[in-house]
Each structure stands twice: as structure tokens, then as C-alpha cells.
Chain A
């Protein structure tokens, strides 16, 4: 077939009727763009009914289908960065700090318990936030991309924010400078993250916490003198530098936390 497809042949082809050589016509259509255009015009469904049909169908689905899920930004943020296992720990820390504050106020000449306990206040929270036992979905989340330092840092920030809020309140109440409790707090947090990369965050928190209690807090309570490391004016610089150094080291060793330990 060398000539183009006539209107009659095209109509017959579109209708699927007889009286036309389908094979020859399709061979021609493959080569001839003009005839393909004609075919498209002849065979296309008319647009208006199609659009109005789609319009009514969509409106019907919108009317009868489920309502869109509302945005839940706050809920999603809270779920991403907190773990339910942190709740009991928050309460315990709050109670301990309140008790320390009351004791400090009752016995102002004894070494300040709030200052002695401030460095280790976030440790139990850290242990609860990054623990295979305390986190029910640990097995599921520990094979995901964000698992590792990113998730750990997020949870650490939540823990620190809570502890700092409590300490800030007691500090205001007792009239103590934030530098004296905030920097030790940060230094111990960094140390836990760094050490946790090697032995697991739970064990690191336990070791550092017990070490601090045995080496600093117990002697201070026995001798009734506040150590220089806790109350001294030059101590702030040491604590600040320690926090900075340990924090940087913990970030450098970030990949230690990618695969969970202890199993």
C-alpha cells in the first residue's frame, strides 16, 4: 500500500469491521506519521465525557472515602526522639534532685549534694535511652540507617535537656552558678558516649557513675569537705576543656555505635 489510508478505510479499521486489509494498513501506519495522526483523531475517545466522568468519580470517592489523616507534627517529633522507657527514669532523677536540694537547704554547711550529684545526673537516663533491654523495639531499629550516633545523639539531647531543666530549677532555688553544674554534666555525658562505643552505653554509664560516687562523692561526704574539682573556681575551665575534648572524640568515633553490642 503506497497511497495513504483513506477516510473510509480508517473508519473501518477503527470500528474493527471488515473490508479492509488490516495487515497492509498497519504496515503503512508504522511508516507514515500523517496517517497515525489521522488514526489518533479517529480513534481517540472524546475528551469531555472522559473528564467529566473522572470528575464525578473523584468527587464520589472524596465524599465517601476515609477522611485525610490530620498532620501530627508534635506527636511525630515526640515519638522520634523519646523512648517510653525514659519516663520512670525522669521521675527518679527528679525525686533525687529534689531530695538533694532539700538536704542542701537544711544543712548549708555540709558539702552541696546537688553539686556532687550533678555530673552523674544524666547517666542513668543515657543508659535507659540506649539499651537493648529497656527499648522494646531495639531489634527492629538497630538495623536501620539512622541507628547509630544520630539516634543516640538525639536521645542524649532529650535526656540532657530534661536534666538541665531540673538542675536549672534547683540551681536557681539555691542560687548557684550554672557553670558549676552544667559543665561537669556535659563532660560526663561525652565520656559516656565515647566509652559506650567500646563497651556499650549502659556499661559505660554504670562504670562512670559508680566510679564518681566512689572516688569523689563518698570521700566528700565522709570528710565533709567539697573537693576542689566540684566547687573550685578553676575547676570550670578543666571541666569545659574535658567536655569539649571528649565530645570531639565521641563524634570521631561515631561509627562505633552503628552496630549494637553486648550480644
Chain B
């Protein structure tokens, strides 16, 4: 339960949370995203792809950490190269990086409140919001423990807490399920579905079963290009193809897709 602000009820003027046209992004000198056209609205979208497919570079671009090299990108209706619009846009973003660093001496509460402050939440709302998200990710009993004393899975959950503290309209999670035990992963999927009801959530992951269980939409990237976009059921359907290898229908569908794409290119 939370209070609804007046601006949340206003109709949005942008049809998609993420709109990109022929997006190209460099990672160093290497062109990691090579012409990606994508429209994503609200819901939970799973981003799959092998190592080096450009997933993390894409996530960093969408989080406004790095600039696109070429192409059009609009996030929540704001052009990514609009310097004046960047700050209001960033207030509405949540981002969990893949290698998310932290200040070891901060407690979980310090860390979440610091990120809430960085995202310009009203000062009066910060302590309450921080406590709420810490409870939501199941870290309430460790809220005042130093980050360096936490296990890998707990750290990851603290990272998720900072990403959702400002109720973002666009939430980007890069490998959020690494280090979570099976029970926590089930709880995490539940959390994703809740957030995905009214915001756009993009989850990058290697775990095909996470995507099938929690996502309303699947994207598959390979070599910087979008190979597939569809429902999880479509991915499972592809698993009937003889090319697929894997233990579950979705894994077979995923590997069949990649093989077909590679043999075609």
C-alpha cells in the first residue's frame, strides 16, 4: 500500500517506456549493440543471450550510464540525448548493475537511503520508502548490518532494494538472480510480477527458467542484434525444433533460436 501522487494518474504521452530505432552502442572500441530496434511497454521483459551478446551494454545505455553511438533512443518519452530532460528522467529510473559496487562501511539502510537521495526523492519520504523496500526484499532483520558483512545473495537483494526504492517507471535489472537460493528466487519472481503491473521492467539473465516463470515477454539477443521477441510460450514452442538442446522446453527453444540465427548469419 502506498499513496498515489497526482502525476501518477496523468495519462502518459509516450506509447512505450523504451523506444529504440537502429540503436548502436560501443563498449570501448567494440560495437557491442549493432542496430537494435525495440519497443517495450509496461510488464516484465526478460532479456536472454549468450555472453558477449551486448546485454550489459544495452542495459547501461538504457540506464543512461553511457551514450548511444548512433540511432534513436527514447526512454519514458524523453530522448536519451536531451540534456535537460536527463535529470527528470533519471528520477524515474531504477538500475541494478551487473557488477554493482558498494561502500563496504555503509549499512543496508544507509545504502538504500543514499540511492534514494541520489534519485531526488523528497527527503521526508526517504526513510519510510527505504524501510519498505528493505522489508520487500526480505532484509528487514539485517537492515542495520554493514554491507561487507552480507552474503552474496543478501547483497544482491540490497541491490534490488536500492533499484526499486523510488518506485521507478522503468526498472533495469542486470543479472539480479545471481547468488539467490531457490526459495529467494521464487520470492523475487513474485516481486517482479508485482512491480511489472504498472512499470516497465527489463531483466537481463542467463537463467531461461526465470524468464519463463516471471516474464510476460522474452527478448533474445545475439552478437548485438535482437534475434527474437515474443511470449515465453512462443519460446517453449520453438523447443520442439530438432536443433534445440537443453533440459526444459524453453531451454531447447532458446538454443534452437541461437543456432538458427548463427547458421543464417
CB <8 Å contact, B103 and A139: no
- Judged by a CB distance under 8 angstroms, whether A252 is at the interface is no
The complex places the Cα of A146 from the Cα of B123 at a distance, in Å, of 14
Within residues 78 to 127 of chain A, which ones have a CB less than 8 A from any CB in chain B? 79-80, 83-84
Chain B residues with CB under 8 A of A84:
103-105
Query: Contacts A80-B114, A136-B101, A138-B101 given: A148-B87 contact, CB under 8 Å?
Result: yes
Query: CA–CA, A258 to B82, complex, Å?
Result: 11
B65 x A259 contact (CB < 8 A): yes
Pairs across A and B, CB under 8 Å, 24 listed: A69-B131, A75-B110, A79-B106, A80-B114, A80-B117, A136-B101, A136-B103, A136-B104, A138-B101, A139-B60, A139-B100, A140-B95, A140-B96, A141-B115, A142-B65, A143-B64, A143-B93, A145-B90, A145-B91, A145-B119, A146-B117, A146-B119, A255-B86, A260-B65
The answer to whether A69 and B65 have CB atoms under 8 Å apart is no
Q: Within the complex, what minimum Cβ distance (angstroms) separates A109 from chain B? A: 47
Q: B97 to chain A: which residues have CB within 8 Å?
A: 139-140
CB of A144 within 8 A of chain B?
yes
Is A137 within 8 A of B101, CB to CB? yes
Residues of chain B within 8 A (CB-CB) of A151 are: 118
Measured as residues with beta carbon below 8 angstroms from the partner, the interface class of chain A is 20 to 34
Q: Given that A84-B103, A84-B105, A138-B101 are known contacts, is A143 also in contact with B63, CB under 8 Å in the complex?
A: yes
Is the contact region of chain A dominated by helix, strand, or loop, or is it mixed?
loop
Contacts of B10 in A (CB 8 A): none
Is residue A76 within 8 Å, beta carbon to beta carbon, of the partner chain?
yes
Q: Can you name the residue of chain B whose Cβ is closest to the Cβ of A259?
A: B67
Interface residues as binary, B20-64 with A (CB distance below 8 Å gives 1, 0 otherwise)? 000000011000000000000000000000000000000010011
Q: Is A263 part of the contact surface with B, judged by Cβ < 8 Å?
A: yes
Residues from chain A with a CB closer than 8 A to the CB of B140 are: 66
Specify the chain B residue showing the minimal Cβ separation from A139: B97
Contact B118 A141 (CB under 8 A): yes
Bound complex: CA A66 to CA B143 (Å): 11
- Cβ of B5 within 8 Å of any chain A Cβ, yes or no, is no
Which A44-85 residues have C-beta < 8 A from chain B? 66, 69, 75-76, 79-80, 83-84
Q: Quick one: closest B residue to A142, CB to CB?
A: B65
Interface presence of B2 (CB below 8 A): no
A: residues with CB less than 8 A from B are: 66, 69, 75-76, 79-80, 83-84, 135-148, 151, 255, 258-260, 263
Measured in the bound complex, the distance between the Cα atoms of B90 and A141 in whole Å is 11
Is B162 an interface position by the 8 A CB rule?
yes
Residue of A nearest to B80 (CB): A259
Q: Which A residues are in CB contact (< 8 Å) with B66?
A: 259-260, 263
Q: Find chain B residues with CB under 8 A from A147 CB.
A: 90, 118
Measured between beta carbons, the chain A residues less than 8 angstroms from B119 are 144-146
Bound together, the chains give a CA A263 to CA B60 distance in angstroms of: 11
Chain B residues within an 8 Å CB radius of A146: 117-120
Q: State A203–B60 Cα separation when bound (angstroms).
A: 23
The smallest C-beta distance from A95 to any residue of chain B, in angstroms, reads 23
Give the nearest-CB partner of A255 in chain B.
B83
Chain A: minimal CB distance from B231 (Å):
29
Q: How far is the CB of B110 from chain A (nearest CB, A)?
A: 6
Instruction: Using CB atoms, name the residue of chain A closest to B97.
Output: A139
The chain A residue sitting closest to B63, CB to CB, is A143
- A79 vs B162: C-alpha distance when bound (angstroms): 16
Known: A136-B104, A143-B93, A147-B90. 16 other contacts (CB 8 A): A69-B109, A75-B110, A76-B113, A79-B106, A83-B103, A84-B104, A139-B60, A139-B101, A140-B97, A140-B162, A145-B90, A145-B91, A258-B86, A258-B87, A259-B65, A263-B28
CB-based nearest B residue for A141: B118
